[in-house]
Structure 1
């Protein structure tokens, strides 16, 4: 019994430490030793492109978004714009329709999804009407840099590159401790992705700005999101998903902890499936670095909710074994108490907020797991108003 408890304690502890500290550090070391090739770009690559904006009740930002995409620096004869409205019930469709009439010299279309089934379904339905060579997808509240399309296309320098994601830049990162915490997490994640992409392929993208060949598009189950599903799908096909962080989209992070919590719950809606979605991922002879990347960047992170529980529970039974277990148990209790204190007092303290933010992330994973087990997961979610 003692051996089992210790095995569970140390293996779960390893997963936590590896996910948060070990893997990021190992990536930096691998990047130095491996000397992964730098991103190659060819700006002469200018295929026909459709920019798809998915919107559900985005009347607050849709006009700004429409003006934003018309300012993109790309040959007008090679670019089209498509708004896929996911059963919007506010003025979104009205605003887009009026905008199209006022700019009839540009190729802009509105595709109205009748039944709301979420972002991925709206993309699936609208994509079937696309005739251009490439498809760029972006969120309604993400404002794109004028050179972003050129940058995305310039990265498709070989046939084995199936997916290119840009960089989401958070514009309100210094507003309060919530947005600061999210920005720090995101900056660290972007650094990891850049190394993964240079060496072989990334394990996840972001929904604010990304592109794929229209011929490579795949109709994913609406419960899935392209952020996590697309890079994995292409990697298992032996293709590459990379990032070009010179293709930039600007977006606000949640300024209210409830918004960030709900967003992370939504991100965890299929967490159980993505812990190890395909056993073949572990075949390092076939998938090489991707096996290592996925285990460290995805599998371990998707197991944090369970690992923290196991470490805490086993520590309770091991506490009398030695002073080491007494120290680790005390540290855990103190860590969670500090998170609770920050949540109750809302103290404006950087260290406390980071602890609170981390605990919130783990709690969101638990809610995501609960929703999955009780079949409460939905393919759509309510947007965070503080990001508009």
Structure 2
């Protein structure tokens, strides 16, 4: 798939394509960063008459709504609409209710803790001019990749996985969309899927449209610098992806899957069956060690030099870690969410401030 990522796009891209755009920002208790988010969006390079911002407040119990209303009052030239839901419905339900009033040609989702370069719309929207393309997303870029070994390993993981997603996109499509930047043609977006942005991408593919990760598009966010916080977030994401690939598996079995099998089948194996294989390998390894301790120890020693190479060491660690995360997420999949091993993590939001964003030219 890395070879595929190096190939050219088979697309009809019109650089003069300038659709009307609605940027939807879901928010629940984002008082510390929502003003930064709105200031970032105010600097996006795009025709002002063709862009509006929609803040969807999901019953925040902090000062989020007041901060947004104050920003709107102080920036009356900005086209900002606010949907305030008094009952906590969840991100997808709130977005779907707000979506009913959106008439723009393109709907873009952006989480409150993700920040865009000024040219992101100018670079991304021309890809939607191709009649076969229904949605595009961008790469996740870390603001704090050098903060700790945890963030450094996450950056390496992101680069590896994103290369695969770009390869899938050039082959046909990728399902793995993220909430930092996901742009959808309104004509093919009837509603947002409960499995978040990746589920919505699958819905669009099932309508015979392509969903692409574009390498030159990126959004910035902060990643947890503490390992346990990173794991908590990744378990939640793993569960969402497992739900997605179970849906694909069902569609595949019933012969209703539009998504290419050469992409879907490896991903299904990777996210659902591979973690169980890891357990089997661990059990066999323990059994071999118990029966042949000397031979097994010599084998381990023979591969030890690999761990002196930082990139290989990090890659192996991330591979084992991510299979473990997928394994831990399986109980929630099997119990349909009744058993969870994660909780909300606020650490990465605490890392966001005006000085950091200015250093990356995001404010």
Instruction: Indicate the TM-score class for this superposition, using the shorter chain for normalisation.
Output: 0.7 to 0.9
Given candidates 10, 18, 21, the residue that maps to 1:49 is: 21
Q: 1:243 to 1:355 in 2, by over 3 A?
A: closer
In the other structure, the counterpart of 2:348 is: 386
| 2:326 is equivalent to residue 365 of structure 1 | yes
Deviates more, 1:257-266 or 1:111-120: 111-120
Given the two structures, how large is their TM-score scaled by the length of structure 2? 0.82
Given the two structures, how large is their TM-score scaled by the length of structure 1? 0.77
Given candidates 284, 300, 304, the residue that maps to 2:274 is: 304
Deviations 1:27-61 (A, max 9, x none): 134567xx553565322111111011111111111
In the other structure, the counterpart of 2:196 is: 225
Q: Distance in 1 between matches of 2:269 and 2:89?
A: 27
In the TM superposition, 1:227-306 aligns within 5 A as: 228-270=198-240, 272-278=242-248, 279-281=250-252, 287=258, 290-306=260-276
In the other structure, the counterpart of 1:105 is: 77
In the other structure, the counterpart of 2:103 is: 131
Q: Distance in 1 between matches of 2:300 and 2:8?
A: 39
8 Å contact from structure 1 (residues 269, 377) kept in 2: no
8 Å contact from structure 1 (residues 274, 299) kept in 2: no
Q: 1:272 to 1:172 in 2, by over 3 A?
A: closer
Given candidates 112, 132, 139, the residue that maps to 1:140 is: 112
Q: Distance in 1 between matches of 2:178 and 2:317?
A: 24
Deviations 1:264-319 (A, max 9, x none): 1211334554344234447999857x211122245313433211112223455677
Unaligned regions of 5+ residues in structure 1, if any? 1-26, 339-348
8 Å contact from structure 1 (residues 113, 125) kept in 2: no
Deviations 1:222-268 (A, max 9, x none): 3x111x21232222332100122323211111111122111112113
Q: Distance in 2 between matches of 1:286 and 1:102?
A: 49
In the other structure, the counterpart of 2:177 is: 205
Count of residue correspondences: 342
Q: 1:294 to 1:78 in 2, by over 3 A?
A: same
Unaligned regions of 5+ residues in structure 2, if any? 353-363
Give the number of the structure with larger relative contact order, counting CA–CA contacts within 8 Å between residues 6 or more apart. 1
In the TM superposition, 1:139-178 aligns within 5 A as: 139-178=111-150
Q: 1:138 to 1:329 in 2, by over 3 A?
A: farther
In the other structure, the counterpart of 1:19 is: none
C-alpha RMSD of matched pairs (Å) = 3.4
